[in-house]
Protein backbone atom coordinates (compact mmCIF):
# COMPACT_ATOMS: atom_id res chain seq x y z
CA UNK A 1 0.00 0.00 0.00
CA UNK A 2 1.10 3.54 -0.68
CA UNK A 3 0.32 4.94 2.71
CA UNK A 4 1.22 3.16 5.94
CA UNK A 5 -1.97 4.43 7.60
CA UNK A 6 -0.36 5.38 10.89
CA UNK A 7 -1.51 8.14 13.23
CA UNK A 8 1.55 8.43 15.47
CA UNK A 9 1.93 4.84 16.69
CA UNK A 10 -1.70 3.80 16.01
CA UNK A 11 -3.33 2.22 12.98
CA UNK A 12 -1.48 0.17 10.37
CA UNK A 13 -2.71 -2.78 8.37
CA UNK A 14 -2.21 -6.13 10.10
CA UNK A 15 -3.90 -8.24 7.49
CA UNK A 16 -3.63 -11.82 6.29
CA UNK A 17 -1.47 -12.17 3.17
CA UNK A 18 -4.45 -13.26 1.05
CA UNK A 19 -6.05 -9.81 1.50
CA UNK A 20 -2.99 -7.73 0.62
CA UNK A 21 -4.00 -7.23 -3.05
CA UNK A 22 -7.60 -6.49 -1.96
CA UNK A 23 -6.44 -3.75 0.38
CA UNK A 24 -4.14 -2.38 -2.33
CA UNK A 25 -7.14 -2.15 -4.63
CA UNK A 26 -9.31 -0.56 -1.95
CA UNK A 27 -6.68 2.00 -1.01
CA UNK A 28 -6.16 2.91 -4.62
CA UNK A 29 -9.93 3.28 -5.26
CA UNK A 30 -10.23 5.41 -2.12
CA UNK A 31 -7.32 7.69 -3.00
CA UNK A 32 -8.58 8.12 -6.56
CA UNK A 33 -12.06 9.01 -5.29
CA UNK A 34 -10.57 11.45 -2.81
CA UNK A 35 -8.73 13.27 -5.57
CA UNK A 36 -11.83 13.37 -7.76
CA UNK A 37 -14.20 16.30 -7.03
CA UNK A 38 -16.92 14.54 -9.06
CA UNK A 39 -16.95 11.70 -6.57
CA UNK A 40 -17.61 13.97 -3.60
CA UNK A 41 -20.27 15.83 -5.58
CA UNK A 42 -21.99 12.54 -6.40
CA UNK A 43 -21.80 11.67 -2.71
CA UNK A 44 -23.31 15.01 -1.66
CA UNK A 45 -26.08 14.61 -4.25
CA UNK A 46 -27.04 11.17 -3.06
CA UNK A 47 -26.93 12.21 0.60
CA UNK A 48 -29.26 15.14 -0.08
CA UNK A 49 -31.73 13.14 -2.16
CA UNK A 50 -31.69 9.71 -0.47
CA UNK A 51 -30.90 10.73 3.09
CA UNK A 52 -31.77 14.05 4.75
CA UNK A 53 -28.64 16.07 4.31
CA UNK A 54 -27.84 18.68 5.31
CA UNK A 55 -29.17 17.65 8.71
CA UNK A 56 -30.14 20.70 10.81
CA UNK A 57 -28.86 22.07 14.09
CA UNK A 58 -31.46 22.32 16.86
CA UNK A 59 -31.13 24.56 19.90
CA UNK A 60 -32.32 22.89 23.13
CA UNK A 61 -34.24 25.93 24.40
CA UNK A 62 -35.81 24.34 27.45
CA UNK A 63 -32.74 22.49 28.70
CA UNK A 64 -30.51 25.50 28.06
CA UNK A 65 -32.76 27.46 30.39
CA UNK A 66 -33.08 24.67 32.97
CA UNK A 67 -29.35 23.98 33.18
CA UNK A 68 -28.56 27.67 33.26
CA UNK A 69 -25.18 27.71 31.55
CA UNK A 70 -24.08 27.28 27.96
CA UNK A 71 -26.47 27.41 24.98
CA UNK A 72 -26.95 23.81 23.93
CA UNK A 73 -27.13 22.94 20.22
CA UNK A 74 -27.61 19.51 18.70
CA UNK A 75 -26.47 18.25 15.28
CA UNK A 76 -29.34 16.10 14.06
CA UNK A 77 -27.74 12.97 12.57
CA UNK A 78 -30.85 11.13 13.78
CA UNK A 79 -32.65 12.61 10.77
CA UNK A 80 -30.61 10.55 8.32
CA UNK A 81 -32.36 7.74 6.50
CA UNK A 82 -32.36 4.68 8.83
CA UNK A 83 -31.98 7.04 11.76
CA UNK A 84 -28.27 7.37 12.31
CA UNK A 85 -24.99 8.74 10.98
CA UNK A 86 -24.22 5.22 9.70
CA UNK A 87 -25.95 6.17 6.44
CA UNK A 88 -23.10 8.59 5.57
CA UNK A 89 -20.49 5.85 5.64
CA UNK A 90 -22.46 3.15 3.85
CA UNK A 91 -23.54 5.38 0.96
CA UNK A 92 -19.93 6.50 0.50
CA UNK A 93 -18.62 2.95 0.52
CA UNK A 94 -21.51 1.91 -1.74
CA UNK A 95 -20.38 4.43 -4.38
CA UNK A 96 -16.83 3.12 -4.01
CA UNK A 97 -18.06 -0.48 -4.39
CA UNK A 98 -19.72 0.50 -7.66
CA UNK A 99 -16.48 2.09 -8.85
CA UNK A 100 -14.55 -1.08 -8.00
CA UNK A 101 -17.07 -3.10 -10.00
CA UNK A 102 -17.98 -5.38 -7.12
CA UNK A 103 -21.42 -6.94 -6.86
CA UNK A 104 -21.67 -8.03 -3.26
CA UNK A 105 -21.25 -6.29 0.08
CA UNK A 106 -20.78 -7.73 3.55
CA UNK A 107 -20.83 -5.97 6.89
CA UNK A 108 -20.63 -6.59 10.61
CA UNK A 109 -23.18 -5.12 12.92
CA UNK A 110 -23.52 -4.88 16.69
CA UNK A 111 -26.88 -3.39 17.60
CA UNK A 112 -27.96 -3.60 13.98
CA UNK A 113 -27.85 0.05 12.83
CA UNK A 114 -24.91 -0.45 10.52
CA UNK A 115 -26.45 -3.68 9.26
CA UNK A 116 -29.72 -1.95 8.43
CA UNK A 117 -27.89 0.96 6.79
CA UNK A 118 -25.78 -1.42 4.68
CA UNK A 119 -28.87 -3.40 3.69
CA UNK A 120 -30.64 -0.23 2.48
CA UNK A 121 -27.59 0.75 0.45
CA UNK A 122 -27.37 -2.76 -1.05
CA UNK A 123 -31.07 -2.68 -1.93
CA UNK A 124 -30.66 0.70 -3.62
CA UNK A 125 -27.51 -0.20 -5.58
CA UNK A 126 -28.60 -3.76 -6.35
CA UNK A 127 -25.80 -5.54 -4.47
CA UNK A 128 -26.07 -8.94 -2.83
CA UNK A 129 -25.71 -8.41 0.89
CA UNK A 130 -24.69 -10.54 3.86
CA UNK A 131 -24.66 -9.13 7.38
CA UNK A 132 -22.73 -10.78 10.22
CA UNK A 133 -24.23 -10.22 13.64
CA UNK A 134 -23.39 -11.84 16.96
CA UNK A 135 -26.00 -14.42 17.97
CA UNK A 136 -26.55 -12.55 21.24
CA UNK A 137 -27.28 -9.37 19.28
CA UNK A 138 -29.57 -11.19 16.82
CA UNK A 139 -31.58 -12.41 19.78
CA UNK A 140 -31.95 -8.96 21.36
CA UNK A 141 -32.30 -6.83 18.20
CA UNK A 142 -35.02 -8.61 16.23
CA UNK A 143 -36.54 -5.41 14.77
CA UNK A 144 -33.26 -4.57 13.00
CA UNK A 145 -32.86 -8.16 11.82
CA UNK A 146 -36.42 -7.98 10.51
CA UNK A 147 -35.65 -4.90 8.39
CA UNK A 148 -32.37 -6.27 7.07
CA UNK A 149 -34.16 -9.41 5.92
CA UNK A 150 -37.02 -7.40 4.42
CA UNK A 151 -34.44 -5.54 2.34
CA UNK A 152 -33.12 -8.81 1.00
CA UNK A 153 -29.97 -9.16 3.12
CA UNK A 154 -28.88 -12.49 4.54
CA UNK A 155 -28.29 -12.14 8.27
CA UNK A 156 -25.78 -14.63 9.67
CA UNK A 157 -25.88 -15.15 13.43
CA UNK A 158 -22.31 -15.54 14.66
CA UNK A 159 -22.07 -18.11 17.41
CA UNK A 160 -18.29 -17.85 17.96
CA UNK A 161 -16.53 -16.04 20.81
CA UNK A 162 -18.58 -13.58 22.83
CA UNK A 163 -21.19 -13.54 20.02
CA UNK A 164 -21.07 -9.74 19.77
CA UNK A 165 -19.60 -7.04 17.54
CA UNK A 166 -15.93 -8.10 17.55
CA UNK A 167 -16.89 -11.66 16.65
CA UNK A 168 -19.08 -10.37 13.83
CA UNK A 169 -16.04 -8.43 12.52
CA UNK A 170 -13.87 -11.58 12.63
CA UNK A 171 -16.56 -13.50 10.76
CA UNK A 172 -16.90 -10.78 8.10
CA UNK A 173 -13.14 -10.98 7.54
CA UNK A 174 -13.43 -14.76 7.17
CA UNK A 175 -16.03 -14.22 4.46
CA UNK A 176 -13.87 -11.60 2.79
CA UNK A 177 -10.72 -13.79 2.63
CA UNK A 178 -12.83 -16.24 0.62
CA UNK A 179 -14.89 -13.89 -1.57
CA UNK A 180 -12.73 -10.79 -2.05
CA UNK A 181 -12.91 -10.93 -5.84
CA UNK A 182 -16.54 -9.83 -6.08
CA UNK A 183 -17.15 -8.61 -2.52
CA UNK A 184 -16.48 -5.37 -0.65
CA UNK A 185 -16.45 -5.38 3.13
CA UNK A 186 -18.34 -2.28 4.33
CA UNK A 187 -16.67 -1.86 7.70
CA UNK A 188 -18.99 0.22 9.87
CA UNK A 189 -16.68 2.41 11.89
CA UNK A 190 -13.38 4.27 11.86
CA UNK A 191 -11.49 1.14 12.97
CA UNK A 192 -9.86 -1.84 11.28
CA UNK A 193 -6.89 -1.93 8.92
CA UNK A 194 -5.85 1.06 6.82
CA UNK A 195 -7.52 2.61 4.81
CA UNK A 196 -10.76 2.03 6.76
CA UNK A 197 -10.19 4.43 9.70
CA UNK A 198 -9.22 7.26 7.37
CA UNK A 199 -11.82 6.45 4.70
CA UNK A 200 -14.76 6.11 7.09
CA UNK A 201 -13.71 9.36 8.81
CA UNK A 202 -13.65 11.04 5.41
CA UNK A 203 -17.23 10.02 4.61
CA UNK A 204 -18.35 11.04 8.10
CA UNK A 205 -16.58 14.41 7.84
CA UNK A 206 -19.73 15.61 6.08
CA UNK A 207 -21.18 15.99 9.61
CA UNK A 208 -18.47 18.33 10.86
CA UNK A 209 -18.25 20.34 7.64
CA UNK A 210 -21.97 21.09 7.79
CA UNK A 211 -22.01 21.66 11.56
CA UNK A 212 -19.21 24.22 11.54
CA UNK A 213 -20.89 26.30 8.87
CA UNK A 214 -24.31 25.98 10.53
CA UNK A 215 -22.98 27.11 13.91
CA UNK A 216 -21.26 30.12 12.33
CA UNK A 217 -24.44 31.06 10.48
CA UNK A 218 -26.61 30.56 13.51
CA UNK A 219 -24.54 32.04 16.33
CA UNK A 220 -21.84 34.00 14.52
CA UNK A 221 -19.11 32.09 16.33
CA UNK A 222 -17.66 28.66 16.90
CA UNK A 223 -18.92 26.50 19.77
CA UNK A 224 -16.79 26.29 22.88
CA UNK A 225 -17.09 22.52 23.12
CA UNK A 226 -18.25 19.70 20.83
CA UNK A 227 -19.48 16.43 22.33
CA UNK A 228 -19.76 13.04 20.61
CA UNK A 229 -20.18 9.51 21.88
CA UNK A 230 -17.38 7.08 21.02
CA UNK A 231 -17.88 3.41 20.20
CA UNK A 232 -15.64 2.64 17.26
CA UNK A 233 -15.47 6.39 16.78
CA UNK A 234 -17.01 7.19 13.40
CA UNK A 235 -19.60 9.78 14.46
CA UNK A 236 -17.02 11.44 16.71
CA UNK A 237 -14.46 11.56 13.91
CA UNK A 238 -17.19 12.92 11.66
CA UNK A 239 -18.16 15.91 13.77
CA UNK A 240 -14.67 16.54 15.24
CA UNK A 241 -13.10 16.74 11.80
CA UNK A 242 -15.04 19.95 11.09
CA UNK A 243 -13.41 21.67 14.09
CA UNK A 244 -10.01 19.92 14.15
CA UNK A 245 -8.10 23.03 13.08
CA UNK A 246 -10.06 25.39 15.36
CA UNK A 247 -7.80 25.06 18.39
CA UNK A 248 -10.19 27.12 20.54
CA UNK A 249 -12.91 24.48 20.17
CA UNK A 250 -12.60 21.77 22.79
CA UNK A 251 -13.50 18.30 21.49
CA UNK A 252 -14.98 15.86 23.99
CA UNK A 253 -15.35 12.12 23.26
CA UNK A 254 -17.71 10.27 25.58
CA UNK A 255 -17.26 6.53 26.01
CA UNK A 256 -19.44 3.89 27.64
CA UNK A 257 -18.79 4.01 31.38
CA UNK A 258 -21.18 1.10 31.92
CA UNK A 259 -21.31 0.14 35.59
CA UNK A 260 -18.05 1.99 36.38
CA UNK A 261 -14.31 1.30 36.35
CA UNK A 262 -12.87 -2.22 36.33
CA UNK A 263 -12.38 -4.66 33.46
CA UNK A 264 -15.64 -6.12 32.18
CA UNK A 265 -17.79 -3.34 33.64
CA UNK A 266 -17.56 -0.82 30.81
CA UNK A 267 -16.30 -0.16 27.30
CA UNK A 268 -14.14 2.93 27.99
CA UNK A 269 -10.83 2.41 26.26
CA UNK A 270 -9.45 5.93 26.60
CA UNK A 271 -11.27 7.61 29.50
CA UNK A 272 -10.42 4.84 31.97
CA UNK A 273 -7.08 3.13 32.57
CA UNK A 274 -8.13 -0.46 31.88
CA UNK A 275 -7.14 -0.61 28.19
CA UNK A 276 -3.62 -1.10 26.82
CA UNK A 277 -2.11 -0.82 23.36
CA UNK A 278 -2.43 -3.93 21.23
CA UNK A 279 -3.02 -5.24 17.72
CA UNK A 280 -6.24 -7.02 16.78
CA UNK A 281 -8.82 -7.01 14.01
CA UNK A 282 -6.13 -5.68 11.72
CA UNK A 283 -5.03 -2.49 13.50
CA UNK A 284 -3.11 -1.12 16.45
CA UNK A 285 -4.93 0.86 19.11
CA UNK A 286 -6.02 0.74 22.75
CA UNK A 287 -7.87 -2.50 23.51
CA UNK A 288 -9.62 -3.84 26.59
CA UNK A 289 -7.40 -6.91 26.90
CA UNK A 290 -5.46 -8.87 29.51
CA UNK A 291 -1.66 -8.95 29.84
CA UNK A 292 -1.43 -11.90 27.41
CA UNK A 293 -3.24 -9.81 24.78
CA UNK A 294 -6.54 -11.71 24.94
CA UNK A 295 -9.59 -9.49 24.42
CA UNK A 296 -11.90 -9.17 27.43
CA UNK A 297 -15.63 -8.86 27.88
CA UNK A 298 -17.09 -5.35 27.80
CA UNK A 299 -20.35 -3.90 29.04
CA UNK A 300 -22.61 -1.02 28.08
CA UNK A 301 -26.32 -0.29 28.17
CA UNK A 302 -25.90 0.64 24.49
CA UNK A 303 -24.84 -2.17 22.17
CA UNK A 304 -23.39 0.32 19.71
CA UNK A 305 -20.64 1.44 22.10
CA UNK A 306 -19.88 -2.02 23.47
CA UNK A 307 -16.60 -2.73 21.65
CA UNK A 308 -13.07 -3.69 22.77
CA UNK A 309 -11.14 -1.33 20.48
CA UNK A 310 -11.37 2.27 19.33
CA UNK A 311 -10.44 4.23 16.23
CA UNK A 312 -6.65 4.51 15.95
CA UNK A 313 -7.15 8.15 14.95
CA UNK A 314 -8.90 8.82 18.26
CA UNK A 315 -6.13 7.01 20.19
CA UNK A 316 -3.75 9.40 18.47
CA UNK A 317 -5.92 12.44 19.32
CA UNK A 318 -6.11 11.18 22.90
CA UNK A 319 -2.31 11.05 23.17
CA UNK A 320 -1.86 14.46 21.58
CA UNK A 321 -4.61 15.72 23.93
CA UNK A 322 -6.56 17.27 21.04
CA UNK A 323 -9.62 15.35 22.23
CA UNK A 324 -10.62 14.99 25.88
CA UNK A 325 -12.17 11.63 26.73
CA UNK A 326 -14.81 11.10 29.38
CA UNK A 327 -17.07 8.16 30.24
CA UNK A 328 -20.77 8.33 31.09
CA UNK A 329 -22.28 5.51 33.14
CA UNK A 330 -25.41 3.55 32.20
CA UNK A 331 -27.63 5.23 34.77
CA UNK A 332 -26.71 8.81 33.81
CA UNK A 333 -27.11 7.92 30.14
CA UNK A 334 -30.66 6.62 30.54
CA UNK A 335 -31.50 9.70 32.62
CA UNK A 336 -30.04 12.02 29.98
CA UNK A 337 -32.09 10.29 27.31
CA UNK A 338 -35.32 10.58 29.32
CA UNK A 339 -34.59 14.20 30.14
CA UNK A 340 -34.10 15.02 26.44
CA UNK A 341 -37.26 13.19 25.45
CA UNK A 342 -39.37 14.88 28.11
CA UNK A 343 -38.06 18.42 27.79
CA UNK A 344 -37.26 18.71 24.11
CA UNK A 345 -39.20 15.95 22.38
CA UNK A 346 -35.98 14.69 20.80
CA UNK A 347 -35.27 10.97 21.11
CA UNK A 348 -31.51 10.39 21.20
CA UNK A 349 -30.26 6.81 20.85
CA UNK A 350 -28.70 5.33 23.98
CA UNK A 351 -25.33 5.62 22.19
CA UNK A 352 -25.83 9.34 21.49
CA UNK A 353 -27.21 9.87 25.00
CA UNK A 354 -23.68 9.38 26.33
CA UNK A 355 -22.72 12.66 24.66
CA UNK A 356 -25.86 14.34 26.03
CA UNK A 357 -25.10 13.10 29.58
CA UNK A 358 -21.62 14.61 29.55
CA UNK A 359 -22.83 17.87 27.97
CA UNK A 360 -25.58 18.26 30.61
CA UNK A 361 -22.96 17.73 33.32
CA UNK A 362 -20.71 20.46 31.94
CA UNK A 363 -23.25 22.99 30.59
CA UNK A 364 -23.96 24.62 34.00
CA UNK A 365 -20.23 25.29 34.50
CA UNK A 366 -20.22 27.50 31.39
CA UNK A 367 -21.93 30.85 30.76
CA UNK A 368 -24.65 32.05 28.41
CA UNK A 369 -21.91 33.50 26.20
CA UNK A 370 -20.78 29.96 25.44
CA UNK A 371 -22.32 27.58 22.90
CA UNK A 372 -21.86 23.85 23.03
CA UNK A 373 -22.70 21.35 20.30
CA UNK A 374 -23.76 17.73 20.79
CA UNK A 375 -23.68 15.20 17.97
CA UNK A 376 -26.98 13.31 18.10
CA UNK A 377 -25.59 10.36 16.17
CA UNK A 378 -28.87 8.45 16.07
CA UNK A 379 -32.43 8.19 17.24
CA UNK A 380 -33.84 5.73 19.77
CA UNK A 381 -37.44 5.20 18.68
CA UNK A 382 -36.36 2.40 16.35
CA UNK A 383 -34.65 0.69 19.33
CA UNK A 384 -37.85 0.69 21.29
CA UNK A 385 -37.34 -2.83 22.71
CA UNK A 386 -33.92 -1.98 24.13
CA UNK A 387 -34.97 1.45 25.35
CA UNK A 388 -38.15 0.17 26.99
CA UNK A 389 -35.96 -2.29 28.92
CA UNK A 390 -33.46 0.42 29.82
CA UNK A 391 -36.18 2.69 31.24
CA UNK A 392 -37.92 -0.39 32.70
CA UNK A 393 -41.42 0.50 31.50
CA UNK A 394 -44.09 -1.86 32.98
CA UNK A 395 -46.76 -0.92 30.41
CA UNK A 396 -44.46 -1.88 27.58
CA UNK A 397 -43.81 -5.24 29.25
CA UNK A 398 -47.58 -5.86 29.58
CA UNK A 399 -48.01 -4.98 25.92
CA UNK A 400 -45.37 -7.51 24.82
CA UNK A 401 -46.88 -10.20 27.05
CA UNK A 402 -50.33 -9.55 25.57
CA UNK A 403 -48.93 -9.50 22.05
CA UNK A 404 -47.11 -12.80 22.62
CA UNK A 405 -50.29 -14.30 24.05
CA UNK A 406 -52.25 -13.18 20.98
CA UNK A 407 -49.67 -14.77 18.66
CA UNK A 408 -49.81 -17.98 20.67
CA UNK A 409 -53.59 -18.18 20.40
CA UNK A 410 -53.41 -17.41 16.68
CA UNK A 411 -50.96 -20.30 16.21
CA UNK A 412 -53.09 -22.66 18.27
CA UNK A 413 -56.13 -21.81 16.17
CA UNK A 414 -54.33 -22.53 12.90
Partner 1 sequence: MTRTPTKLEESIRQALTQKDILLMTHIVLGYPSFDDSLRVVEDMVEAGVDLMELQIPFSEPMADGPVILRANAGALDKGATVDQSFEMAERITKEFDIPFLFMTYYNILFSRGVGTFVEQCEQIGIQGCIVPDLPPAEGQEYLEAMQKAKMSPVHIFTPNTPEPRMQELNEKSAGFIYSVARKGVTGKDTAFSTELADYLAVCKANTDLPLAVGFGVKSREDVEFLRGKADIAVVGSETIRVMETDGVKAVKPFIQSLVA
Contact set with partner 1 (CB under 8 A): 1, 4, 12-22, 160-161, 166, 170, 173-174, 177-180, 276, 278-282, 284, 287, 289, 291-295
Q: What's the closest the beta carbon of residue 237 comes to partner 1, in angstroms?
A: 23
Minimum distance between the CB of residue 299 and partner 1, rounded to whole angstroms? 17
Cα separation, 245 vs 33, whole angstroms: 23
Q: How do 183-185 and 104-109 pair as beta strands?
A: parallel
User: Coil, strand or helix: which one is 254?
Assistant: strand
Closer CB to partner 1, 19 or 70, in the complex? 19
Strand locations in 8-47 (E): 10-11
Q: Looking at the annotation, which residues are catalytic?
A: 86, 108, 377
CB 345 within 8 A of CB 242: no
**Cα angle value 103/132/288 (rounded, 5°):** 125
* DSSP β-bridge partners for residue 128: 104
Query: CA-to-CA distance for 39 and 105, rounded, in angstroms?
Result: 20
Instruction: State which residue, 160 or 213, has the beta carbon closest to partner 1.
Output: 160
What is the Cα–Cα distance from 104 to 118, expressed in whole angstroms? 11
Minimum CB–partner distance for residue 304 and partner 1 (Å): 20
Distance CA 114, CA 82 (A): 9
Is the Cβ of residue 56 or residue 293 nearer to partner 1 in the bound state? 293
Angle of helix 37-49 relative to helix 86-100, nearest 10 degrees, comes to 130
The residue among 154 and 276 lying less far from partner 1, judged by its C-beta, is 276
Q: Judged by CB, which is closer to partner 1: 51, or 285?
A: 285
Is there a contact between 286 and 272 (Cβ–Cβ < 8 Å)? no
271 close to 310: Cβ distance less than 8 angstroms: no
Nearest distance, CB of residue 281 and partner 1, angstroms: 6
What torsion, rounded to 10 degrees, do the Cα atoms 200, 202, 204, 206 define?
Answer: -160
Tell the smallest beta-carbon distance from residue 23 to partner 1 (Å): 10
DSSP string, 261-316: SSTTS-B-SSSSS--EEEEETTEEEEE-B-TTS-B-----SSGGG--S---HHHHH
Minimum CB distance to partner 1, residue 20 (Å): 6
Query: Most distant CA pair in the chain: distance in Å?
Result: 67
Nearer to partner 1 by Cβ, of 260 and 278: the residue is 278
CB of 96 to partner 1, least distance (A): 20
Rounded to 5°, angle at Cα 91 from 170 and 129: 50
Q: What angle, rounded to 10 degrees, do the helices at 86-100 and 20-34 form?
A: 110
Residue number, 2 or 321, with CB nearest to partner 1: 2
Amino acid sequence: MKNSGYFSQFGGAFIPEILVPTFDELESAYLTARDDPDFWQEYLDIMSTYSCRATPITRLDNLTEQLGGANIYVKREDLNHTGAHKANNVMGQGLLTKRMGKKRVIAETGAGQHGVATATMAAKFGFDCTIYMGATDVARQRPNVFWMEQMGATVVAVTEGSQTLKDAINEAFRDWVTNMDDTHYVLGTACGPHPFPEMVSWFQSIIGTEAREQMLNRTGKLPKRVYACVGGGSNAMGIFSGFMDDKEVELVGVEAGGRGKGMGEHAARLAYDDATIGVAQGYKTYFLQNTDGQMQETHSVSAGLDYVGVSPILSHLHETKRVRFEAANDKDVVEAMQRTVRNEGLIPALESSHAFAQAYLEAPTLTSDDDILINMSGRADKDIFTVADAVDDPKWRDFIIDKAEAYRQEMNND
